[in-house]
Structure formats: C-alpha cells, structure tokens
Chains A and B, each alone.
Chain A
Amino acid sequence: MKKKTDVSRETLKIINRQQMKPIPKWEFLVKNWVTWTGLTISLIILTLGAGLWWFGVISNTITPYLWIAVALIFLAGTYLLFEKTKHAYRYQKWQIVMILVIVGLVAGGGWYVSGTAGRIDKNLEGIPYYRKVVPMKMEIWNRPEEGYLSGEIIYVTDMNNFEIRDFGGKEWTITGQNVVIRGRIKIAVSEEIKLIGEETGKNQFVAREIRPWEGRRN
C-alpha cells in the first residue's frame, strides 16, 4: 500500500527551502485601510447625492436626476466595497442594501435640513454644463412653446382672465375655461403659479391646468 505523503513535513521543507515568510502585516493593514477609506468616501457621496435629491424633491427647485444617478452609483460602490471587508459575509445582501439606503436617506435628509445640499447645488452652478444637467425647475416651467409656463400674477380680471410676468420678465395674457386647479391656489396679484396649456399667440397663453409654484426662484 502506498504510503501517505506527510504534507506537514513536506510543506515545512518548502517553506524553509524557499525561505518563505508571512506577508508583512502592514500590507494587509494598507489594503484594509484603502477599502475602508474608499467605502467612507463612497458613503459620503451617496449621502450627498441623496441630500441633493431631497433638496430637489422638497424645495422643488431643481430636477435632481443627476443626483439620483449619483446616489445609486455610489450605493452600488459602497455595497461592493463593503462586500470586500472581512466580516461582510455575516450579513444578508438585502440587509446591507437596506441599511445603506436608510443611511443614505437619513444622512441625506441631514444635508438638506442643514442647508448643505442647497449650498452645494449653488456652488456647482459655476461648473460648465451643471445647470444643463441639473436644470432649475423654473427653466422646465419656462417653455411656453411646449405648453409650460410659470410666473407671478400681476393683474387679475377674473378667474379665467389674468396676466402674469414670467420669471424671465416677459408678460403674458392668460385665458382659459374649465381650468383644472391643482393644489391650493389663489388667483391674486403677486401669487406665483405654474401653468400647463398652449401658447396661442404672441404673449398669449391658454391654460388648461394651474398649479402653485411652491419653489424658490433662485
């Protein structure tokens, strides 16, 4: 019968012959540090993305698609980096994702409430194309040729006939019948509103629907 190899003895011989040494501890520490640093940075960006998303949704100022994408990308990044940590296997995948989503939303809410999200959006305005990618809601609601108009009421004849000044300073005569009114709106001078309808001529707009502006202008 063939004699079994003494694996332990053979391995020790290899270790000694090749003068093998354990990989130094600092290499593992650096690797670990890089993972956790990347994870922390990714988590912060995730929360900022969520914060600007809150800012867009609650203040109704910007269209935050870019920030939703940023939050989702960094949610995936944070998840993948967490999976590389030593004890990540102890948690179910859905638990990790759920915790990250909650942390993102709560911390993002914190960025919004503290005003940081708004300040970041304002500061990024200087970057070329930023406003093209993250447009102000005001711009979306200033496309009369596509049926969207917004502004401040400056003169009221009656509920179906009034005038507004759009946020670009141009004056419009608004008419309409059986207009759908969404939200709490008072058709009165200095009220800010959004309109859906049709541009029927120069500075003429027929409204089908009126909504409150609810947002900031800048």
Chain B
Amino acid sequence: MVDNHRDCEARSDNQLVKLALEDSQYFYCLMRRYEEKLRNYVHRFTYLDDDDIADIVQESFIGAYRHLNDCDCDLKFSSWLYRIVHNQTVNFLKKNKLALKIKINDGDDELVDWLMADTNIEKEAITKQANGQIKDILEKLNPEYKEILVLRFFEDKDYQEISDILQRPMGTVATLLSRAKIQFKKFYEKEN
C-alpha cells in the first residue's frame, strides 16, 4: 500500500489520476488527499451522522474510480470530485427525504460578515446576540443558496470552481450568491 508514500505527496492530482488508471494504489493517494475535506464538506450542508457521511464519501470514491477515464481534467480534479460527492449527497438526501442544511460554527466570521455587510447591525451586536439568529435564518434560505454559500465560504471555492461543481454557469453562481444575501437580509429585517 502506498500509504504516506513520498511518491504520492510530490505528485499532482492529474498525475495521480493517470497512475491510478493502471494501479489502484495511486487512487488511494487521491482518496487520502481528499477524504477529510469531502467529509467536512458533506457535514457542512447536512445533519447526517459520521456513518452516513462515510457511506456517501465511499460511494463517491467508488463512482469516481469507475469513471476515472471520464475525468474532466480540463477542470480541477478536486472540482470533479466535489461534483460527484455533491450529487451523491443530494441523491442521498432526496432518497431519505431529508432537507439540505447549513452548519455555521462560531469561527465562521467570513460568511457572517458578508451576510451582514449591507444590514445596519453593528458587528459587536452580531457577535453578542445574533449568532443564533443567523443560524436560524440560514436554515430558512432556499437550498440552492445554501449549497453555494457552503462552497464559497466554507470550502473557499472561487466562482469557476463552484460553477464546475454545481454545473451552473458562472453568471448564475454570482446571481445566486447575491440573491442569497438579499433573502438573508429580508428574513433578518423581518425578524428584527
């Protein structure tokens, strides 16, 4: 097994994809590289337990391995993998009639700052009393806004990557982000 193999660490994703086509051990390197990130990603927009998340990620890895020859390497391998995991997660949620959620932690300042930028609430007030409320409002947002917010602020993806993951045009990604903010503001003002 090529666990912690120096050969893996030094290679790019695309190089590992080519090698993995001949030797599944190299696919293990790719899985190790992305497992934690993907688990966190699924965790961010679902309330699933670790076992379900592990199942989703495993199914996604198997799907990715089977379709390795169809890897769209014009785009980043990570975007292709995130797309598979995203679709697998959405299918899982649909199958089990579960809603898409968004999980916000205390350190998620970037998202909170961005959402509150156009409101007239002072930052101190946010940190003191509004965090719980922000979480509640985020839950009310349209699901397609939630998945974009997760990718943009928690996964740090740029517009191109989000476009490739969600398979939406870049212009739509920008529009959805802007609409997410408007919807958030609307809910926030309604509650205050």
Contacts and interface: CB of A to CB of B under 8 A. Distances in A.
Interface string A17-48: 00010111101100000000000000000000
A2 interface: yes
B24 interface: yes
B21 interface: yes
Contacts, number: 75
A28 B62 CA distance: 17
Contacts of A181: none
Interface stretch (A5-13, A143-151, A158-166): A5-13
A12 B69 contact: no
A15 B1 CA distance: 13
A14 interface: yes
B162 to A, nearest CB: 11
Q: How large is the interface on B (under 10, 10 to 19, 20 to 34, 35 or more residues)?
A: 20 to 34
Interface in A48-79: none
Contact of B70 (A9, A10, A23): A23
Main secondary structure of the interface of B (DSSP, over half): helix
Contacts of B20: 22
Nearest to A95: B169
Main secondary structure of the interface of A (DSSP, over half): helix
A90 B163 contact: yes
B27 A15 contact: yes
A170 interface: no
Nearest to A12: B28
A10 B39 CA distance: 15
Nearest to B31: A8
A4 B62 contact: no
Interface string B58-74: 10011001111110101
Interface of A: 2, 4-5, 7-12, 14-16, 20, 22-25, 27-28, 86-87, 89-92
